[in-house]
A and B are shown apart, each in its own frame.
Chain A
Amino acid sequence: QVQLVESGGGVVQPGTSLRLSCTASGFTFSGYAMHWVRQTPGKGLEWVAVISHDGSTKYYADCVKGRFTASRDNSMNTLYLQMNSPRAEDTAVYYCARHRGRTINIPYFDYWGQGTLVTVSS
């Protein structure tokens, strides 16, 4: 069965860096685009980024553009989110989600991980 497991969350100081991972199993990881979505505790969902199946195409939300970088290692079935210069407003549960849809910009998310909590605080 499809499984997505995030890791790497924790407490990070503003202006430093943190890398999140999402390990996939149960499907051919290299055949799917993948997304990062976050949720501030008690608030709504916010899309963060998408990376194409081969890593060649990426889109980012304006609020993280230039600070966060999505990448993937298809040989390791792993998706990454490099968070540089995090801010207090980046505090959230970060989910990875599998892309479905006709193209990378016509997506929906059919499987989600359980999430990993990132707290940005000094």
Chain B
Amino acid sequence: QSVLTQPPSVSAAPGQRVTVSCSGSSSNIGNDYVSWYQQLPGTAPKLLIYDNNKRPSGIPDRFSGSKSGTSATLGITGLQTGDEADYYCGTWDSSLSGYVFGTGTKVTVL
């Protein structure tokens, strides 16, 4: 089971804003950078956010990331139907000496 906890699902209407939380501990989020991944149905994960709040080239600024203490948050503004996907946070855990992913959150556009 994952050491990073995310809500199973969040939803909002098109054009609205959603946030996805990721809760960890001092050995993972509190000690390292967080990244976020989007997984559309039937596809491989795709990098959305790295180093807590940086976006790779090609990722729209509707996606944002932040971190405070042992928690991180992914924000999506101007929600679109194409944003319906599973979203995962991840970071290195120094106690486990391994990378850990969050439990995953399904974003639904109403």
List residues of chain A with CB under 8 Å of any chain B CB. Answer: 35, 37, 44-47, 50, 59-62, 95, 100-101, 105-115
Contact = CB atoms under 8 A, between A and B. Distances in A.
Interface stretch (B11-19, B69-77, B95-103): B95-103
Contacts of B47: 108-111
5 contacts: A59-B98, A100-B50, A101-B33, A107-B92, A108-B51
Given A100-B50, A108-B47, A45 B97 contact: no
A101 B90 CA distance: 13
Interface string B99-110: 111111000000
Nearest to B36: A108
B98 A109 contact: no
A44 to B, nearest CB: 4
B51 A95 contact: no
Interface in B22-39: 32-33, 35, 37, 39
